[in-house]
Amino acid sequence: MSTAFNRGLHIALPFMITVGAGLSACNNNDNNSDDPAAVTEALQSKVKNIVVIYAENRSFDNLFGNFPGANGLSTVVDSSGKPTAAYVPQKDRDGTTVLAKLPMTWNGVTAAGATPVVTQAQSDGLANAPFSVESAFTAASGVTLSTNTVTRDLYHRFYENQMQIGTNGDSYAAWADAGGLTMGHFDQSSSKLYGLAKDFVLADNFFEGAFGGSFLNHQYLICACAPEYPHADTATAKPTIAVLNTDSAGKFLPKLTTKPASPVSALDGPPQFVLSGNVTPANYFGDGKFYAVNTMQAPYQPSGNAPADASAASLPYANTAAATTLPPQTQTNIGDLLTAKSVSWKWYGGSWNAALADGMQDPASPRKVIYTPSTPAASPDFQPHHQPFNYYAEFDPATHAADRTAHLKDYTDLVADAAAGTLPAVAFYKPQGNLNQHEGYANIADGDTHIADLVSKLQASPQYANMVIVITYDEFGGVWDHVAPPKGDLLGPGTRIPAIIISPLAKKGTVDHTQYDTASILRLITRRFALTTLPGLTARDTALVANKAQAMGDLTNALKLTD
């Protein structure tokens, strides 16, 4: 295991820890061959299709903490769930005081309208340690939760994530808006994805590419960058700009300024910030620019912002006067590089067609698909900020209609393409909201069934013999993990997340300890199709090495490409 892999341990939860045998491991020293050129040649000759399935908001320990052979919860808790000496206890907001217990889960454990119900009061009194979400609240509430339960959302934002990581992941509970729930995990050992991880490869050293939430990590997935908001300080739409602490030299710190009335202790309530904005202050990244790091909406439909009016010219667009409408992006993305090399690619979104029709309505009409959670989950609850290419000027509905039709597709198209053997060389798939496993509006079980069903369809495709499927999560969802991320650049990496690699070429039945992040997917695509390297990939690896960590792998360690 690398030194970066062992750096800093998070807390684990009192829940059944499975320390199993029968799964082998591969790590940074297992490079298929001593000759990188031979690996590249084999990759390019044997892999014809790369499919990325991008689920939502789960840390590694939250779903796979009890996975046999992985660096999971057994590192920091014993078989009875008692913390070991390796456990780093959660500290209060002063950064030094160890919390005597976990904070209550503010506003309750379960999402509004979900059953069974666990209230805020029933969440009190948990020890400063990881815990089983299923059973931790049973004594107080009389109910047992499961992966069918929709728990409340936890915030997962750019600066808050960095504050939670703190020193070796010791401040998740202190800076969470959901209090102690951040320390919870589930037993997923009977799930379909857990079974696929056992059969193929589970990566247990894989980190979200960027700090924070879904919006930024979807952007990072396609460009290894953060989107820009030019002149955010003078924009008439008035996007929110984060208010940060500074050091003695006036340099911005990755720490939000708290309000004077903000509770001093995490045990007294969630933190209150002057402004946790969606945009960085000017020059936060040292180039004088403003960047969007928390959820902004696409300039084109489907968007979270309705059209400005009901005219035919306005309906395909979002209202630019809205504070959260991001200006069209022009940075180079992976789609640009693939197109330049004549490599086919598509982004498939669950309920894309329905959401597009929903978005292109008179703004006075109620939406029935976009951001429409329901209990039970009857609506697809389409999340427009999970569609990163829809933010780019090259997909303008008027000037690039043909490009939109060619590259932005529906889940039904993915199923049809897989069955017909016409999948593009690179395919990205984003499940619709009620199937993506996001806390607050989706459960784990429904997404597990949906994603596993898609995998079975891909395995039945005529193209599967030369296919690599990567299932991963966009980000941590506000949930603690016991492995602190290696120190990289100002964008990330953030908290550890699960990743499963499925392929006839996979090193089946292994746990891969290689250090990866979200953009390792881009590294694999780049190597396979001999693309130009995106600047963000170089910047990340340069920063990691400068901070005495390892550069990120490109997922080839999970594949058996050479003898």
Question: Which structure tokens are listed for 503?
Answer: 């392929």
The helix (run of H) or strand (run of E) holding residue 51 is strand 49-55
8 A C-beta contact, residue 406 and residue 319: no
Please give the share of the chain, as a percent, with pLDDT higher than 90. Answer: 91
Is residue 274 in a domain?
A: yes
Amino acid occupying residue 359: G
Is residue 527 in a domain?
A: no
Could you tell me which residues come within 8 angstroms of residue 20 by beta carbon, excluding any fewer than 6 positions away?
68, 69
8 A C-beta contact, residue 541 and residue 516: no
Could you tell me which residues come within 8 angstroms of residue 453 by beta carbon, excluding any fewer than 6 positions away?
none
Number of domains in the chain: 1
The Cα–Cα gap between 272 and 274 comes to 7
Is residue 521 in a domain?
A: no
Is residue 279 in a domain?
A: yes
- Asked whether residue 205 carries a pLDDT value surpassing 90, the answer given is yes
Question: Which structure tokens are listed for 315?
Answer: 């309906």
Is residue 232 in a domain?
A: yes
Determine the Cα angle at 444 with ends 443 and 450, to 5°: 105
Q: What is the pLDDT of residues 376-422, one digit of tens each?
A: 667 899 999 999 999 999 999 999 999 999 999 999 999 999 999 99
Could you tell me which residues come within 8 angstroms of residue 98 by beta carbon, excluding any fewer than 6 positions away?
89, 90, 91, 92, 128
* Structural domain for 283, as ranges: 228-295
**What's the pLDDT score for residue 9?**
30
Q: What is the pLDDT of residues 35-85, one digit of tens each?
A: 899 999 999 999 999 999 999 999 999 999 999 999 999 999 998 889 999
Q: What is the pLDDT of residues 420-473, one digit of tens each?
A: 999 999 999 999 999 999 999 999 999 999 999 999 999 999 999 999 999 999
- Asked whether residue 11 carries a pLDDT value surpassing 60, the answer given is no
Q: What is the pLDDT of residues 478-535, one digit of tens each?
A: 999 999 999 999 999 999 999 999 999 999 999 999 999 999 999 999 999 999 999 9
Is residue 273 in a domain?
A: yes
**What's the pLDDT score for residue 27?**
61
Could you tell me which residues come within 8 angstroms of residue 257 by beta carbon, excluding any fewer than 6 positions away?
243, 244, 245, 273, 274, 275
Question: Which structure tokens are listed for 442?
Answer: 């989706």
**What's the pLDDT score for residue 14?**
33
Is residue 269 in a domain?
A: yes
Mean pLDDT, the chain, whole residue set: 93
Is residue 430 in a domain?
A: no
